[in-house]
Structure 1
Amino acid sequence: MDTLNLHTLWRDLEGTIRQTLAQNQLAQGGLLIGVFSALAVFARSLPWTLWHWLERRYTLTLDVQGDDPAFPWLAAWLAAQPVGRRLRHLGVVTRYNEQMGGQNLTLATDQDGDDVNVRLVPLSGQVLLRFRGHWLLARPSRERRESQSERLLGFKHSLTIQMLAVSRGVIPDLLRAAYEFTAGKVDGRVEIHVPSYDTWSLAERRAARPLDTLIYDGGLVGDLRADLDAFFADRDWYGGMGIPYRRGYLLHGPPGNGKSSLVAALAGTVGLNVCVLNLATPDLSDDRLTSLLSNLPRRALLLLEDIDAVFLGREPHTPSVKLSFNGLLNALDGVAAGEGRVTFMTTNELDGLDAALIRPGRADRHVLIGHATRAQVAGILRRFWPGWTEADLAPLLRGVPDGRLSMARVQEFLLERRADEGAVRRDWAALVGQGCPTRLKLLAG
């Protein structure tokens, strides 16, 4: 019964519509206008619809996010291309930053004779370039990053490269060229990376310091170099033994004796970069530390400076520390800890550290870097004045309090008098504190 009623209703409605269109000119005009309007809209959108269909079917898009290690390779490579300077949305960077490539400009020379440089970096826009016979459309972009409280956390950068689908085979060559132009370039420099939220950003590229310019007591430098070389050579052995492939070093001793300098020099010698992390950073949580350590750049060692300023035993040193002691331990050698990592920790005070933090497996070797010995003072004097003989050195070394002066203090003393050898001899007693024990203790710091 319901089906018959519905059929009858539909037949009546159809008849009414036909009669209206046959007899009512207004209805006929309205229908005609509607048809033409639909055709006009379709005609206007047809080119874009056709273009998007062709784009989806015949082009390929390569997206690289700013927190990926490949981003600075490609961005710097793009900026170095002639067409890279045609991008119309630029930013000015006055601090050292190679993350987005850019064009270096020298503005002036400061009072110390150093160049004042800025970098013009591409922020957005697009350029068309040709690479090995293939057309590429490159589009850098950036977006604001905000916290839940709408506090600006910086910008998220990305780079999109679009090409014809038949050009897919050129992608490996493009990535290889960008890598060799930047990170793969062997130029004797060490990259220093610092945290950027849950990843790392390049802060500086500095010339690697030769190990023979370091002045430490005994064979400390050569011993650490040999230990690192043995670690890298034993990767397969670690795997066969089922031992986690990680190595940790704890450098301890009073400040001013070159703990951080030693790490940077060793990194440059063995071809590593350095990721520097301050564990006392107020916004460093357990989760963020885990993310940072899991995102370490390739061939980079981790430097945790002044770990004695973070925990007193297992308790936070200050209320501003958000990192937990267990979170630090798990990040260093927990289940999710990365293989192949080399970690250096530095501390001025060894006594306040919990044994669990510096046990083997987390700090496999403990290295004391103390105040200057007479041999170290002799070494730095020869560095400043290679022509000095034993007879020149002997009167000065006799007055050196062994293990009481920091190397930083000795170096600063010599720097102030580097153009006046006579002043070194004349003022030497003031450096070593002869005749004034109180002054000696102050200078030792």
Structure 2
Amino acid sequence: MQWLVANRVHGSRHLGVETTYSKAADFDFIPSTGRHWVRYKGAFIRVDRDREAKTVDMSTGSPWETLTLTTLSYWPTLFQDLLDEAKKAALAREEGMTIIYQCYGHEWRPFGSPKRVRPFNSVVLDEGVSEHVHDDVQDFLSTQKWYLDRGIPYRRGYLLHGPPGCGKSSFVSALAGRLGYNICVLNLGDPSMTDDRLAHMLAVAPARSLVLLEDVDFAVGQSKPADPSGPYAGVTRITFSGLLNALDGVIATEERIIFMTTNHYRALPPALVRPGRVDLSIYVGLASRSQLRHMFLRFFPTQEAHAEVFATICEDEGLSMAELQGYFMFFKNKPEECAANIGGWLASRRQVHEEHRAAMQPAQEAPLGSHPVAASPSAPKESSAPAIE
């Protein structure tokens, strides 16, 4: 349809309107349903646009449509050339974008609008970690023949583990942008996700995509059965053995790159993190001195002196990258104030953490035998230890 708009359909007296919402609403006038004519490379093509009355696309709400192209041209590659040109025009609109796919039923569909590629250096990991992972992926992509010649399944698995808010998912997004790949997000906590559906979704993942399994530890524990009165009654949710088979079993497909994330590395059994399922395990932890310095310079370039002072003050505070970013947002163009106020911010942060830690401690119950009891030589002494929950 966009190609028809760009090439000005001849003889069209009926137009429709497509609305695209961004920061402002954009309108495209497109050929409406019915018959239209377009001239392409000297040949006239009849375009019939038919719209289904009752069937709609569940992801967008738009009715299903059929475009029928008819021509009398003797040129056998006319339609192929037209579709190739339309495809290049469509891809040009997504250049510099990352498409996020999510699974709907048993197929992948784009989720929302394509996102602008995230700069690779915008995610600050510890010294050399980002480049090490990027180089490993590039090496994998360039050695397909080496894998096939040795009979090794051509797939690669990565595990990013560490505390929340340290940049695991953000790094996958930045890496996809640098590679020119898209991202397929699989939610293992989906109540409708079964072992068969997981294996199928991994098998039909779009080409040039990174598959992201977030919070993979969810499939390790014993998941609660579905509510017998709910919409997923009778559905057997994903199991740990189903996850292992999908990653590295007989049904596992090749030519794919999987990134798994978890905040609870110790909860993962050795069967999941062995080579073949996890080929490279990367710890993405709290901010080191190098990360603190680079993060400051990311927001305030050329402020080397302030960056060193900032890194020295924050080095042993156990800050996550999300906390740092939130702090920097208060001082967008004020590096001096940012460095000067960090001490007070850290002090208030420590106080909040202490209060939270105290609130999380179990309440001490009253000692046993606190009620008055008549003294008796044969009565045992009451324990003063609190009850154990």
Which bracket does the TM-score occupy, shorter chain normalised?
0.7 to 0.9
The one-character-per-residue Cα deviations of 1:384-405 (angstroms, maximum 9, x if unpaired) are 2113133x23433222143711
Whole-angstrom distance in 2 between the partners of 1:328 and 1:232: 24
TM-score after normalising by structure 2 = 0.76
Q: How does 1:24-103 map to 2 (within 5 A)?
A: 76-78=2-4, 80-83=6-9, 102-103=18-19
Does residue 104 of the first structure (1) align with residue 20 of the second (2)?
A: yes
The aligned amino acid for 1:402 is D
Identity among equivalent pairs (%): 32
Q: Does the CA contact (< 8 Å) of 1:123 and 1:140 recur in 2? A: no
Note the C-alpha offset of 1:197.
1.8
Note the C-alpha offset of 1:430.
3.3
The aligned amino acid for 1:368 is Y
Does residue 172 of the first structure (1) align with residue 80 of the second (2)?
A: yes
Whole-angstrom distance in 2 between the partners of 1:345 and 1:86: 53
In structure 2, the partner of 1:405 is: 319
Q: How does 1:139-218 map to 2 (within 5 A)?
A: 139=49, 141-142=51-52, 157-164=64-71, 166=74, 168-183=76-91, 187-203=95-111, 204-218=113-127
In structure 2, the partner of 1:420 is: 334
Q: Does the CA contact (< 8 Å) of 2:51 and 2:65 recur in 1? A: yes
In structure 2, the partner of 1:316 is: 223
Note the C-alpha offset of 1:142.
4.5
2:307 aligned residue (393, 402, 410): 393
In structure 1, the partner of 2:245 is: 330
Note the C-alpha offset of 1:192.
1.4
Q: Does the CA contact (< 8 Å) of 2:156 and 2:279 recur in 1? A: yes
Q: How does 1:199-348 map to 2 (within 5 A)?
A: 199-203=107-111, 204-308=113-217, 310-313=218-221, 315-316=222-223, 319=226, 322-348=237-263
Whole-angstrom distance in 1 between the partners of 2:216 and 2:67: 40
In structure 1, the partner of 2:387 is: none
In structure 1, the partner of 2:364 is: none
| Alpha-carbon distance change, 351 to 119 in structure 1, aligned in 2, over 3 angstroms | farther
Where do 5+ consecutive residues of structure 2 fail to align? 227-231, 358-389
In structure 1, the partner of 2:365 is: none
Whole-angstrom distance in 1 between the partners of 2:299 and 2:339: 14
Q: Does the CA contact (< 8 Å) of 1:251 and 1:259 recur in 2? A: yes
**How many pairs are equivalent?**
344
Q: Does the CA contact (< 8 Å) of 1:272 and 1:300 recur in 2? A: yes
Note the C-alpha offset of 1:167.
5.2
| Alpha-carbon distance change, 383 to 144 in structure 1, aligned in 2, over 3 angstroms | same
Note the C-alpha offset of 1:425.
3.1
The one-character-per-residue Cα deviations of 1:351-410 (angstroms, maximum 9, x if unpaired) are 2223323322122111110111121111111112113133x2343322214371110111
| Alpha-carbon distance change, 275 to 385 in structure 1, aligned in 2, over 3 angstroms | same
Look up the SS of the partner of 1:361 in the other structure: coil
Q: Does the CA contact (< 8 Å) of 1:304 and 1:343 recur in 2? A: yes
Whole-angstrom distance in 1 between the partners of 2:264 and 2:355: 18
Whole-angstrom distance in 2 between the partners of 1:207 and 1:404: 31
Q: Does the CA contact (< 8 Å) of 1:140 and 1:159 recur in 2? A: yes
Note the C-alpha offset of 1:202.
1.7
Q: Select the structure of larger CA radius of gyration.
A: 1
Q: Does the CA contact (< 8 Å) of 1:249 and 1:343 recur in 2? A: yes
Coordinate RMSD, CA, aligned: 3.4
The aligned amino acid for 1:249 is Y
Note the C-alpha offset of 1:78.
4.6
Q: Does the CA contact (< 8 Å) of 1:399 and 1:429 recur in 2? A: yes
Whole-angstrom distance in 2 between the partners of 1:192 and 1:104: 18
Report which stretch shifted further, 272-281 or 167-176: 167-176
Q: Does the CA contact (< 8 Å) of 2:15 and 2:29 recur in 1? A: no
In structure 2, the partner of 1:137 is: 47
TM-score after normalising by structure 1 = 0.67
The aligned amino acid for 1:132 is K
Look up the SS of the partner of 1:376 in the other structure: helix
Whole-angstrom distance in 2 between the partners of 1:244 and 1:144: 45
Report which stretch shifted further, 190-199 or 252-261: 190-199
Whole-angstrom distance in 1 between the partners of 2:53 and 2:253: 30
| Alpha-carbon distance change, 288 to 355 in structure 1, aligned in 2, over 3 angstroms | same
In structure 2, the partner of 1:376 is: 291
Whole-angstrom distance in 1 between the partners of 2:130 and 2:300: 22
The aligned amino acid for 2:194 is S
